[in-house]
C-alpha cells in the first residue's frame, strides 16, 4: 500500500480529530488543523470556502486535467459511549459517522502525493463542512467551489461498517436517496374531552393522515420504484381533559429519483387536503428537499472501480452495490460535475461493525492506509504521466 509508511502519523491525526469533534459550520479547530497540515505539505491552501471549508490544490507537471477529492469534517450531536482514551472531550458532540477518518485519509493522500506523487495535472483536495444536514456541499458550491477550483471529475468516499475491511463498493446511477423534510399543520377546533362533538379533534385527523401517508409507497408509487415516508413526530396543544385544536406532524421522505420525490410530495398534499376537507378543518404542508439523489456517473464510476481493483483485487470490489435510502450531500457536487461515490469497508469485527450514527461507533484505524492509498492511486491513474 502506497501510504503504509504514514500509518502511525495518520492514526495520531485521526484520534486527535475524534477527540475534538465539531458540529457543522463550527469546524474551526478541525479546518485550522487541516489547513496547517496542507500548508506543511506544500499545497496551495484556501480557507473559509463555504464557511469552514478548506481546499488544497496540488499542481504537478503540465497535465491539463484536474480531479477533485472530497472528505467531510463535521460530527454529530451525540453523547459518546466509548471508553477509550481518545473519546470526545466535547460533551454531546461525537464523530459517530467516521468523518474523522475521511478527513485523515484525504490528508494522508495529500501528503504522499506532495512528497512522492507521480502524476501530471492538478489534484484538488476538498474538505467539506456540514455534511450531516446537507448544507456544506451547497455552501461550498455557492462560494464558487468549481469556478475557483475547476475539476473534470469529483470523487467522494465513505466508510461502511460491517463490510469487509478495505473492500470497496459502488454502482453506476442512483446510489443514495434524496431526503425531504415535511411538516403538516392541522387546524381543528379544540374542546372539552367529555364533549367531542362540539369540536374537531386534531388528533383524530392527524392519526388518519399518518395512516393514509403509508399508502403513498404501498399504493401510489410504481412498485418498481423505491421510497420511504416516515412520520417522526406528532405534537398537539391538547391537555388531560382538553381536546387539541392544533396538531403538527413532521417527518422525512426518501426517494431514489427526482420524479419519485415529486410524486411523494404531490400525493402527500392530496392526502392532507382530502382528509382535512372530510373533517371540515384546514391543513397545510411544508415540503423541503434537503438532499439531492446521489448519482454516480458511468465513466468516473468505472475509473474508481478500476483503481479499487488494482489495490484490493477484483473480488473485493462490488460494482453493483444496492442503492441505499440514506442520504449524502456529496450528491450536490456529483450533480455539478461528473462524479463517483465509493464505499469502503470499515470491518466486520464487533468493534467496527456498529451502525453509523451510534453512540459507540468508532472508525477503524486499519482502514486509513487502504483508504488513503485509494486516493493516491486514483490521482496517479487519472492524471497519469511524469511528475513535476
CATH number at residue 58: 3.40.630.10
What would the pLDDT profile of 331-362 be if each residue is shown by its tens digit?
999 999 999 999 999 999 988 889 999 999 99
Residues designated as active site: 74, 131
Count of domains observed in the chain: 2
Q: What is the largest CA-CA distance in the chain?
A: 84
Q: Give the domain-ending residue among 264, 291, 318.
A: 291
What would the pLDDT profile of 64-121 be if each residue is shown by its tens digit?
999 999 999 999 999 999 999 999 999 999 999 999 999 999 999 999 999 999 999 9
Is the pLDDT confidence value at 289 over 50? yes
- Whether residue 387 lies inside any domain: the answer is no
Residue 10's domain comprises: 4-176+294-382
Check residue 387 and give its pLDDT. 43
Q: For the CA atoms of 344, 299, 131, 113, what is the dihedral angle to 10 degrees?
A: 70
Going across the sheet that includes 178-187, the strands are 227-236, 246-255, 178-187, 282-291
Angle, vertex CA 360, rays to CA 176 and CA 98, nearest 5? 40
Contact 274, 256 (CB under 8 A): no
Is the pLDDT confidence value at 190 over 80? no
Check residue 385 and give its pLDDT. 57
Residue 287 bridge partners (DSSP):
182
Percent residues over pLDDT 70 in the chain: 96
Q: Where are the alpha helices (DSSP H) in the chain?
A: 7-19, 28-41, 99-116, 136-142, 145-148, 202-215, 258-279, 298-312, 330-336, 368-382
| Together in a domain, 144 and 46 | yes
| Dist CA 327 CA 97 (whole Å) | 13
Check residue 90 and give its pLDDT. 97
Three cell numbers, residue 230:
416516515
The CATH number that applies at residue 258 is 3.30.70.360
| Together in a domain, 192 and 138 | no
| Together in a domain, 250 and 371 | no
- Strands 121-128, 317-318: pairing is unpaired
Q: For the CA atoms of 130, 131, 132, 138, what is the dihedral angle to 10 degrees?
A: 80
- Whether residue 388 lies inside any domain: the answer is no
| Together in a domain, 201 and 125 | no
What would the pLDDT profile of 212-240 be if each residue is shown by its tens digit?
999 999 988 988 888 999 999 999 988 88
Amino acid at each position: 500500500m502506497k501510504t503504509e509508511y504514514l500509518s502511525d502519523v495518520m492514526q495520531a491525526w485521526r484520534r486527535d480529530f475524534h477527540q475534538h469533534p465539531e458540529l457543522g459550520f463550527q469546524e474551526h479547530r478541525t479546518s485550522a488543523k487541516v489547513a496547517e497540515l496542507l500548508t506543511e505539505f506544500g499545497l496551495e491552501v484556501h480557507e473559509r470556502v463555504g464557511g469552514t471549508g478548506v481546499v488544497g490544490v496540488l499542481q504537478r507537471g503540465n497535465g491539463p486535467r484536474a480531479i477533485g477529492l472530497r472528505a467531510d469534517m463535521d460530527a454529530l450531536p451525540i453523547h459518546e459511549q466509548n471508553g477509550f482514551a481518545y473519546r470526545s472531550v466535547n460533551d454531546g458532540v461525537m464523530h459517530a459517522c467516521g468523518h474523522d477518518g475521511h478527513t485523515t485519509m484525504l490528508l494522508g493522500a495529500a501528503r504522499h502525493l506532495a512528497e512522492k506523487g507521480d502524476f501530471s495535472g492538478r489534484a484538488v483536495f476538498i474538505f467539506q463542512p456540514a455534511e450531516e444536514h446537507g448544507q456544506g456541499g451547497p455552501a461550498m458550491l455557492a462560494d464558487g467551489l468549481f469556478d475557483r477550483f475547476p475539476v473534470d471529475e469529483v470523487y467522494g468516499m465513505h466508510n461502511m461498517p460491517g463490510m469487509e475491511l478495505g473492500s470497496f463498493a459502488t454502482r453506476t446511477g442512483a446510489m443514495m436517496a434524496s431526503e425531504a423534510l415535511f411538516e403538516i399543520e392541522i387546524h381543528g377546533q379544540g374542546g372539552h374531552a367529555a364533549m367531542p362533538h362540539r369540536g374537531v379533534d386534531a388528533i383524530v385527523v392527524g392519526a388518519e393522515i399518518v395512516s393514509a401517508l403509508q399508502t403513498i409507497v404501498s399504493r401510489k408509487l410504481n412498485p418498481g420504484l423505491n421510497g420511504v415516508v416516515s412520520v417522526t413526530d406528532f405534537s398537539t396543544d391538547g391537555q388531560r381533559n382538553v381536546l387539541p385544536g392544533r396538531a403538527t406532524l413532521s417527518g422525512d421522505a426518501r426517494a431514489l429519483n427526482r420524479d419519485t420525490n415529486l410524486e411523494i410530495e404531490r400525493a402527500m398534499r392530496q392526502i392532507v387536503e382530502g382528509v382535512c376537507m372530510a373533517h371540515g378543518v384546514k391543513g397545510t404542508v411544508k415540503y423541503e428537499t434537503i438532499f439531492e439523489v446521489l448519482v454516480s456517473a458511468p465513466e468516473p464510476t468505472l475509473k474508481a472501480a478500476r483503481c479499487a481493483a488494482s489495490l484490493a483485487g477484483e473480488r473485493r470490489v462490488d460494482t453493483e452495490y444496492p442503492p441505499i435510502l440514506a442520504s449524502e450531500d456529496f450528491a450536490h457536487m456529483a450533480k455539478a460535475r461528473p462524479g463517483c461515490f465509493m464505499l469502503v469497508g470499515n470491518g466486520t469485527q464487533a468493534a467496527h461493525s456498529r451502525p453509523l450514527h451510534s453512540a459507540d461507533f468508532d472508525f477503524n484505524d486499519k482502514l486509513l492506509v487502504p483508504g488513503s492509498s485509494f486516493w493516491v492511486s486514483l490521482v496517479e491513474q487519472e492524471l497519469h504521466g511524469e511528475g513535476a
